[in-house]
Each structure stands twice: as structure tokens, then as C-alpha cells.
Structure 1
Amino acid sequence: MESHKPSTSKDDLILNIISRKIKQLPESDRNLLEYGSAYIGLNAAFGGLIANSLFRRILNVTQARLASSLPMAVIPFLTANLSYQSLVSLPLSTGDLNCETCTTTRGALVGLVMGGLYPILLAIPVNGGLAARYESSPLPQRGNIFNYWITVSKPVFRKMLFPTLLQTVFASYLGSRQYKLLIKALQLPEPDLEIH
């Protein structure tokens, strides 16, 4: 049976051409291409802090502010940043993603799931554990756990609807903008070639 090996020299050539073209862009455009995922991560971190604050108020948790705020900022930042980078920025920069609609959709999905919903869902066990530890709120018995957390989470999800939609739209816009910048970079002439 013949094994199919991908052409690494062709892939390296494509990556080399794309990276040379990106280096020709103005610095502001290059920064958006290179650090766009960090913007998504920062928005996710803010969403995590907002969700953390809302759950702390509902569960009357007043202790351990730093213990709950730090993971609620760092973990969503890292997951959203890495997800956007691996699902949108990297495939776009390597030439594996060459459709504006696909880029926009991937960006929106990363923004929605990793930047919007994940921080809210992460805030539930963090603040639930603190509420149980400090006994700040009556927690349910074994049979009611699922219904209790649904009831507690509904107002948080309602209040987080706008930040989640904002994150989704921003990530979608960023994906579209990065695609357009990459197309702009690919249309630039090679700096080494002189036309005679």
C-alpha cells in the first residue's frame, strides 16, 4: 500500500510567499493579522469577569474575589486566543483557509462559543464551589442540582446576551478584516522583482 506524503516543499514555498507578502503590509495591518486573536481573548476575559461578577452577586459570595476573578479572566483569554489563532488566523496565514465566508463564520463561532458561552459556563463551577465553601447561599439537595443551576443561570445568560452577541459580531468582523488584509497582501508585488 502506498502512503501519501504531503508535499512539504510546496507548503513551505506557499508559507514563505504569504509571510513575505504580509511583511510588506503597513505595521497597523500586520499587527491586526498577527495579534487579532489577542483582541478576541481580551473580550473573552472581560466577558468572564462580568459573568463572574453576576454569579457572585446571585450567590452572595463576598470572599475570595481574586481567587475567582483570576481564573475567570485568564482561562477565557487563553482559550479564546488559542482557538481563534488555531481555527482562523493560522489557516488563513498558511493558505488553508481561502474563503471569506468561511473565515467570517469560523470567527463568529469562535467568538460565540469560546468568547461568549464558555466564560459563562466556566463561572458556574467556580462560583458554585465558592458558595459551597463559604456557605453564602443555600445550595440544592442531590435531586435538584440541575434545575437549581438552570434557575440561577437564567438571569446571567439574559444579562450576558449583549456581551456575547458583541463578541460574536466582533470576532466575525475581525475574521472578515483579516481575510481582506491577506488578499490585499497577496496582491502586492514582490519586492525583489523588478519589471522591465
Structure 2
Amino acid sequence: TNPCTLPDIDKKFFKYGNLYLGGNAAFAGLISNSLYRRTLNISKGFIASSLPTAALPFLVTAGLYNVLVSDSLVSSGLNCPTCAMTRGALVGVVGGGGYPILLALAVNIFLAARLNTAPMPERGNVLRHWVDVSRPILRQMRPVLLLQAIFGTYLGSRDFETYTKLARVTFSSGGEELETKD
């Protein structure tokens, strides 16, 4: 084997890691959507609520991870492993956990109001009402948030290691073009 190449597994994690994290965010969106649908007694509009709560978290999380971790490593804007792991964890929790939950809440509030399946709050208690409705769902979603944080941390660490290997290979080979095997 050529010493100027990275192992295939490192290339795949670096190239597709953001999609894995985005896929987990899509599952988090579907889970939180299901929990809100049950809580608000919504039986209609399954696809109308599932599609955005899966697709948008996938796209947002994959994009956030790509910009904040992967692209920052390649452009040399991110030079410490702790920073890469922290950014990965934050993208996992915020983009892959918090955003899908809030999106599912918004979509299902709209559906519940439109279909009259749950009592709507009075004018002065809107925020308190939705916080009270969300509290048990957030409790149930804690393991998902923890898994997203752990997975984001792992991906950030793994990407930093891959970037370090790539930099070593590039600079030790005198700047020769790297051979890639896909």
C-alpha cells in the first residue's frame, strides 16, 4: 500500500460523518413528532408532520456539522481536538436534538389548532401551557439528547484525528497529490 493514503474507514467517516449525525437528527425528529402527536391527540396528517420533522433536522444538522467542524478543520480554522469535540457535541445536542424537538412542537401545535384535537391555551398562558405540555416529552427525549452529544463528540474527535493524519501525510510527502481510493 502507498504510505501517502488514508485508510478507507477514515475517509468515509470524514466524508460522511455529518450525514450519520444528520440521520440521527431525523430519527430524533420522528420520535419527538410521535410523542407530541400522542400528547396532543393528533391522528390525522401523519405525513404532513413527519416529513418536515425528519427532513429539516437532517439537513440542518448535516450542514451545521459540515460548516462548524469539517470545513473548519480543512480550512485550518479549528486546531485543537477539544474544540472539535465540543463543536461536534454542540451540533449533536442543538442541531440533532433540540431543533427536532422544537420543530416537532411547532408543527404539532399547528396541527392541533387546525384539527381541534387538544385544548388551546388562554391568551396570557401560552408559553406556560406549551412548556407544561413539553416537559414530559423532554424528559423522554433525554437519552436521545445524550446519544446525540456522545455521537457528535465522537465524530468531532474522529474527524480531528483524520485531519491530523491527512496533514502528516500531506506534509511528509513533500506536498505530493494524495491518492484516494473510494
Return the TM-score normalized by structure 2: 0.90
Are 1:112 and 2:93 counterparts? yes
Match of 2:110 among 99, 107, 129: 129
Q: Aligned to 1:51, what secondary structure does the other structure show?
A: helix
Q: Report how far residue 27 of structure 1 moved.
A: 2.0
Are 1:157 and 2:138 counterparts? yes
Q: Report how far residue 25 of structure 1 moved.
A: 1.0
Of structures 1 and 2, the one with the larger relative CO (CA 8 A, separation 6+) is 2
Letter in structure 2 aligned against 1:125 = A
Match of 1:173 among 147, 154, 168: 154
In structure 2, distance between residues paired with 1:99 and 1:144: 46
Match of 1:88 among 51, 59, 69: 69
Letter in structure 2 aligned against 1:130 = L
Q: Any idea what the Cα deviations from partners look like across 1:128-173, whole Å, max 9, x if unmatched?
A: 1100111111111211211110110000100000001100110011
Q: Any idea what the Cα deviations from partners look like across 1:93-129, whole Å, max 9, x if unmatched?
A: 2222110011001111111111111111111110011
Highest Rg: 1 or 2?
A: 1
Are 1:35 and 2:35 counterparts? no
Large movers: runs of 4+ above 4 Å: none
Match of 2:124 among 143, 155, 162: 143
Letter in structure 2 aligned against 1:34 = K
Q: Aligned to 1:184, what secondary structure does the other structure show?
A: helix
In structure 2, distance between residues paired with 1:96 and 1:140: 47
RMSD: 1.5
1:60-71 counterparts in 2 under 5 A?
A: 60-71=41-52
Corresponding residue number in structure 2 for 1:190: 173
Corresponding residue number in structure 1 for 2:30: 49
Percent identity for Structure 1 against Structure 2: 49
In structure 2, distance between residues paired with 1:156 and 1:133: 21
Return the TM-score normalized by structure 1: 0.84
Letter in structure 1 aligned against 2:88 = G
In structure 2, distance between residues paired with 1:94 and 1:144: 48
Are 1:79 and 2:57 counterparts? no
Q: Any idea what the Cα deviations from partners look like across 1:55-93, whole Å, max 9, x if unmatched?
A: 000000000000000000000001101000000000112
